[in-house]
Amino acid sequence: MADRSYTESHRPGDFQLADPHARAHVDHTYSNQSYWRDAYRQFTANKGAVIGLLVIVLITLFAIIGPMLSEHTYKSMNIKHKSLAPRIEGFENMPVFNGVANGIHSYKERKLEDVYYIFGTDTLGRDLWTRTWQGTRISLYIALIAVAIDMVIGMSYGLISGYFGGAVDNAMQRFIEILSGIPHLVIVTLLIVVLRPGLVTITLALMITGWIGMSRVARAQVLKLKEQEFVLASRTLGAGSMRIIFKDILPNIFGQIIIMSMFSIPSAIFTEAFLAFIGLGIPQPMASLGSLISESFKSMTIYPYMIVAPVVVLALLMLSFNLLADGLKDALDPKMKEM
Amino acid sequence: MLKRLVIAAATLLAILLVLFLMLELMPGSPFNDEKITDAQRALLNAKYGLDQPVLARFLHYVGAMLTGDFGVSYVIQKNMPISNMLAGRLPVSIQIGLQAVVLGTAIGLLLGIVAALRRGSFADSFTTFIAVIGVSFPSYVFALGLSYFLGSKYKLFPILYTTSKPLISTVLPTIALSMFTIATVARFARSEMVDVLASDYLLLSESKGVGRRRLIYVHALRNALIPIITVLAPLVVGLMTGSLVIEQIFSIPGIGSLLVTAIQVNDYNVILAVTFIYSVMFIAIMLIVDILYGIIDPRIRLAKGENHG
Amino acid sequence: MNEPVLSIRDLSISFKTSNGTVNAIRGVDLDLNKGETLAIVGESGSGKSVTVKAIMGILSGNQEIRSGTIQFRYNRDGEEVHQDLLQLSKKDMRRRINGKRIAMVFQDPMTSLNPTMAVGKQIMEGLIIHLKMSRPEAHERALELLRLVGIADPEKRMKSYPHQLSGGMRQRVVIAIMLACNPEVLICDEPTTALDVTVQAKILELIKNIQAKMQLSVIYITHDLGVVAKVADSVAVMYAGKIVERGTVNEIFYDPRHPYTCGLLSSMPDIVTETEKLYSIPGSPPNLLHEVKGDAFAPRNRYALNIDFQEEPPMFQISDTHYAATWLLHEQAPSMEMAASLKARIETARKEAGEWTESDSWR
């Protein structure tokens, strides 16, 4: 069945040896793809992650320029303008941003025909647009702090613990076990008792526990890498510990480090929002998204619009950071498990 | 196992030390009532052991805390023993916490497993959606939403907790509190299940002719579920923090709302007592998780008993 | 001629990947005769594993069978049954074929046993499902199987979990699981690659003994020609999703015709010839994402002809059992000298073997 006879005529020269130089070299059929280029391609193919990144960029822009666009500051009060519904010029006849809430046209009633507040005002007559973006700044600051803490404390701790091993590692790991045995909530509460509520306290709270996950990932990666040939080679050539850690190992675990730090952002923002809600966040008249939600929660049934802007921004921010972190994880190291 | 116990004990001791130091460094003494003379104060100090060296005081403190003697409240209810305050509040908090764990784990597992079995289907997208939403909104947003829509607008459930209806009035808080658990468990269960379904041993079971049902229920599920125990730690933390705001929103008389009040009015003893309770619960749960893991996973169970080559 | 137990005809399988469709198997014809051991040899990615996964009906979701048949001939209660396995549903495959008539041993014993189930239970499972045995019966049979695969103290091992066993022991357990229902065909997908060399030999020996005892037909998948020489009766060489040469083990080892087979043999280290440098085939296999024009091996072939780049070579018959797909066998093709080093090698090997006398026609 196999010896199908070929009847079609072959051209002369068909059975000549082919010119060796004319041959394509097969090694080139796989295009050369570096890790980062491949990761970039993976990432951009992930719609959710790209949208997440865009939303974060957009929110950041608004947080920077938003407060400047308004003539009000975050703390300027105008009792005459208190509890106004969202209203935008040109939207007067639209279903939203028309200045009507619960069937009451607050602007008309109070004869404020040419006054506009995009997100409305709070019960003290402060501009919610400015306050919302001001609050977003706090959340973004927290995000930055969380990444910095992860990078500086978590990464170094993990790298050192994993690289030196032995007694050092043992002691450092027992310390982590004890530290992670204390609920985060307890640490935050005690800090607040000692210090006053505020950004410093939140930053400190993050510094005490926020880096544990990262240090575990960094340690696990170092343990995996330090026995590999290229590290041994480097050591044989006389490289010092610091050089090996930062020049040989660090570049190879960078993917995981980025993923972990991205995952710590949402939980850090969460911590702040949660503290703010129970009244232990940023003190008045400063605003954070959490404290805005907390304030407007008290009057939610009467002025439901006050809570919308901060909740939407907070949710969008959290959602985007989660999507971004997921996308980065899929692109950089899909097999990685969160710790 | 012994190692775990030692770590747990060390953690507990560390917490007690921190709490004790805070108590020591706290401004003022419990007896700085102006009517008390210096002599009377010395007498009181002697009576409560406050004139003894630090170490003795610490040991005394540890003993008192471990036996449930948390002292008295100064601000919230003057001179009320804190253990009495806790006795009424702890069961409520635990009830809601347990309800949220059970509900959250059940729904989360269901979503995660169905999503893994039908990858790319509607159920899968829905699970991903829930998982992302659940970790993106703080639990108070859910609580506010639920109480606004199901509570005030449609009046399906009571907005506030009432002792007369301990079940129906905890429906909304339980759902709000369980969202984070649902999201975390669903996400984890899905990824574990996907891994297990692609494993060699499942392929081998398939090649030996095991039917699909048995493949999933006997072979895959057990292997996928064991690692889920590891996410219990962050879940418990999530529930504890969640309980603070949830109890606040639904005015539930639990220890979460007690802590918030105590912080707001600076009732140190109450703060320290509640944080101690939280710590003990957390440490105990972690210990139980470890033991449970050993029982469920034969790799750990047998590694302790016998040693094979 | 003995009618084959399994005969694959024109099997084509493609994968859908994010980069496009990969034509992993491109028209494979293969026969497995009763009681023989067939080795499928090839580099990784040549499609060996996919072919046998198609036989087992355990292709993954993104793998699609484009064409072909897999005829399986077996005896059911004294009656001969012909069945095209590709026509069976997954459910029917599991009920009637998998584990019962065709069984498969996987590459890595470290990952192919369920870590949370005692090995005894894993062996008994197939017996209870397929042979409807009661638990005590299955237990007895499992003990017997463990003894058969050479595990000491089977009573105790029944209760062990996979992580308590060494790699070699685990592979024995896998073999026991697979032999449980007396299958007709056993597929071994690189069963020894993940094991120590000393253990490898023992496992190979075990499979060989059991094959003789149980009259099994065995398909071996391997890239290790040493294993092939040890166990196989006939050999099929796969390259880029096609079978490029097949024949008896002697024909392939002593009279290779396809330049790829020659390349494989030349790159096999041995202790007899004192070559200064071990040969390696230049280049790497083609990317099957792209359409292959002509002979897939041509770009790596030192003896490539012009036609190799235009037209796919047909299977040329060399003897009753020996076929190769290379234009070099066409009557118009120039006669090629085999590389001197390989020729010398084969000569020595042949002398050593001493038994190979037929058709020493090397042109």
Q: Report DSSP state, residue B182.
A: H
Q: Do A26 and C286 touch (CB under 8 A)?
A: yes
For residue A113, the model assigns a pLDDT of: 64
For B76-99, the pLDDT digits (tens) are 777 788 888 888 888 888 888 889
On whether the CB atoms of residues A120 and A306 are closer than 8 A, the answer is: yes
Task: Return the H-helix or E-strand segment holding C116.
Answer: none
Q: Residues of A near B (CB-CB distance < 8 A)?
A: 174, 177-178, 180-186, 189-190, 192-194, 266, 270, 273-274, 277-280, 290, 293, 297, 300-301, 304, 307, 311, 314-315, 318-319, 322-323, 326
Nearest by CB to C284, which of A13, A17, A26? A26
Chain A nearest C-alpha distance from C28 (Å): 11
C180 and C118 both lie in a single domain = yes
The terminus-to-terminus CA distance of chain C in angstroms comes to: 28
For residue A4, the model assigns a pLDDT of: 44
Quote the CA–CA distance of A35 and A332 in Å, as a whole number: 8
For residue A28, the model assigns a pLDDT of: 45
Cα angle at A337 between A331 and A339, to 5 degrees? 125
On whether the CB atoms of residues B70 and B269 are closer than 8 A, the answer is: yes
Q: Which residues pair with C84 in a beta bridge?
A: C71
In a domain, C362, yes or no: no
Closest among A336, A335, A333, A319 to A49, alpha carbons compared: A319
Q: Which residue of B has its CA nearest to A174?
A: B7
Q: Say yes or no to pLDDT of A115 above 90.
A: no
For A129-181, the pLDDT digits (tens) are 888 888 888 888 888 888 888 888 888 898 888 888 888 888 888 888 888 77
Quote the CA–CA distance of C15 and C60 in Å, as a whole number: 9
On whether the CB atoms of residues A217 and A333 are closer than 8 A, the answer is: no
C206 and C275 both lie in a single domain = no
For residue A295, the model assigns a pLDDT of: 80
Quote the CA–CA distance of A62 and A130 in Å, as a whole number: 10
C114 and C214 both lie in a single domain = yes
In a domain, C198, yes or no: yes
Q: Is B69 on the interface with C (CB under 8 A)?
A: no
Cα angle at C239 between C238 and C240, to 5 degrees? 125
A7 falls in which pLDDT band (50, 70, 90)? very low
Give ipTM to 2 decimals. Answer: 0.79
Q: Which residue of C has its CA nearest to B224?
A: C116
For B201-226, the pLDDT digits (tens) are 888 888 888 888 888 888 888 888 88
Nearest by CB to A17, which of C18, C29, C305? C305
Q: Is B224 on the interface with A (CB under 8 A)?
A: no
Between B and C, how many residue pairs show a Cβ–Cβ distance under 8 A?
93
B307 falls in which pLDDT band (50, 70, 90)? very low
Domains of chain A: which residue ranges? 58-66+127-338
C196 and C140 both lie in a single domain = yes
Residue with tokens 């806790």: B86
Q: Do B201 and C114 touch (CB under 8 A)?
A: yes
Q: Which residues pair with C196 in a beta bridge?
A: none
Q: Which residues of chain A lie closer than 8 angstroms to B275, CB-CB?
A: 185-186, 189-190
Chain C nearest C-alpha distance from B200 (Å): 5
Residues 6+ apart with CB under 8 A from C270: C345, C349
C91 burial class (0-12, 13-18, 19+ CB within 10 angstroms)?
exposed
SS3 state of residue C124? helix
Q: Which residue of A has its CA nearest to C290?
A: A29
What chains are in contact with B, requiring at least 3 Cβ pairs below 8 Å?
Answer: A, C
Q: Can you tell me the mean pLDDT for A12-18?
A: 68
CATH assignment at residue C78: 3.40.50.300
Between A and C, how many residue pairs show a Cβ–Cβ distance under 8 A?
69
Domain boundary among C232, C267, C293: C232
- CATH topology for the A58-66+127-338 domain: MetI-like fold (1.10.3720)
Q: Is C29 on the interface with A (CB under 8 A)?
A: yes
The most distant pair of C-alpha atoms in chain A lies apart, rounded to whole Å, by 99
Most confident of A65-74, A185-194, C314-323: C314-323
pTM: 0.78
The terminus-to-terminus CA distance of chain A in angstroms comes to: 59
Quote the CA–CA distance of A75 and A66 in Å, as a whole number: 15
C105 and C206 both lie in a single domain = yes
In a domain, C237, yes or no: no
Low-confidence stretches of chain C (pLDDT < 50) are 1, 356-363
For B262-286, the pLDDT digits (tens) are 888 878 888 888 888 888 888 888 8
Q: Which residues of chain A lie closer than 8 angstroms to B241, CB-CB?
A: 184-185, 274
Q: Do B211 and C99 touch (CB under 8 A)?
A: no
Structural domain for C314, as ranges: 256-353
In a domain, C241, yes or no: no
Q: Long-range CB contacts (< 8 A, 24+ apart) of C301-305?
A: C301/C259, C301/C260, C302/A20, C302/C259, C303/A17, C303/C259, C303/C328, C303/C336, C304/A17, C304/A18, C304/A23, C305/A14, C305/A15, C305/A16, C305/A17, C305/A18, C305/C333
Counted domains in chain C = 2
C70 and C172 both lie in a single domain = yes
Between the alpha carbon of residue C262 and those of residues B136, B222, C248, C258, the distances in Å are: 61, 49, 15, 6
For residue C236, the model assigns a pLDDT of: 92
For B170-201, the pLDDT digits (tens) are 888 888 888 888 988 998 888 889 888 888 88
